[in-house]
Structure 1
Amino acid sequence: MKRSLIVITCFLSALTFHLSAQNKPIKSTKSATGSSASISNGKVVYTQHCLSCHMADGGGVPNMNPPLVKTSYVLGDKKRIIKVVLNGFAQNVDIDGESYSNNMPPQNFLKDQEIADVLTYVRSSFGNKATAVKLAEVKAVRSNNKK
């Protein structure tokens, strides 16, 4: 009985801490790679739509899903990575000398701001230090998008 009370107390303490941490307001300061609000929103989109293939650490799955850690696709041309999100990949892709075979479905159902946020998150996380992806850049690529 005493042990059960201790376990329940620990659980409730952890739950209270977790819930209070979630309710903290997002600061609107800017980092070198983008606003903290954009990065925070991008993390939510990443968790919902990208994490299952690219993993929590952005490491991907060898020979299946490419890593998002310091690769030319992530750190390079913003237009190219925006097109990857919009169009996906339906064939093997070679990234920095490694081949990946798992198809990536298009994520074109995401709103332009969600794409800008998730790409800003990816380009500033996992050890990456690239500039933010702006809403206007996503809008321009989507309007001119050709697979």
Structure 2
Amino acid sequence: MTIRNLARYCRRGALLAGTALLLGACAPSSDELAEGQEPYLRFCASCHGNDGGGKAPAFPPIAGSEWLELGPDAIALVVLGGMSGEIEVAGRTYRGYMPPMRQLSDDDIAGLLGYIGREWASWERLPDSARVAELRPLTDDSRATAGREGLEALLEQVPAP
């Protein structure tokens, strides 16, 4: 390796290190995040946006969505079972696919649902990990929930809290 190449690699390394430090300083620390915001940002925000506004035309908004009126059990079932088929959210039709998120722990799902509930819904109760565990068996088949009709059918099977 020549001195010239070594200098070039050192400059690149310094630039990358500086960029990483700058980005790390700009990112909110976990101390600055609201309760449940960390799992929301980790598992939901890449599609539904940090602000819950969605990313049209593929990913519907959570903020302002009439689906939140179905309550926390319904949203837990969407997270656990995923969603397929055509749906309408806030007057717009979406034809995307949300994969089931059964790999997430009950605590992570309860946390992100609590964040959603506090930020964008007015739920009387926020789900806890025990409730998520109780709902989990309803989504055990390998298919994603088929649209709103599929979700409503699942809701009929939900045990009373």
Matches within 5 A, 1:80-119: 80-119=74-113
Aligned counterpart for 1:67 among listed residues 53, 61, 65: 61
Aligned residue number for residue 124 of structure 1: 118
Q: CA deviation at 1:23?
A: 7.5
Distance 1:90 1:78, change over 3 A: same
Consecutive unaligned residues of structure 2, counting only runs of 5 or more, are: 1-17, 146-161
Q: SS at 2:83's partner residue?
A: coil
Consecutive unaligned residues of structure 1, counting only runs of 5 or more, are: 1-7, 27-35
Instruction: Report the number of matched residues.
Output: 120
The whole-number CA distance in structure 2 between the counterparts of 1:57 and 1:67 is 9
Select the structure of larger CA radius of gyration.
2
Aligned counterpart for 1:140 among listed residues 131, 134, 137: 134
Higher relative contact order (CA closer than 8 Å, sequence separation 6+): 1
Q: CA deviation at 1:55?
A: 0.7
2:42 aligned partner, one-letter code: Q
The whole-number CA distance in structure 2 between the counterparts of 1:140 and 1:108 is 13
Q: CA deviation at 1:139?
A: 1.3
Q: TM-score, normalised by structure 2?
A: 0.61
Does 1:47 pair with 2:41?
yes
Q: SS at 1:124's partner residue?
A: helix
- Does the 8 Å contact 2:72/2:126 carry over to 1? no
The whole-number CA distance in structure 2 between the counterparts of 1:57 and 1:94 is 19
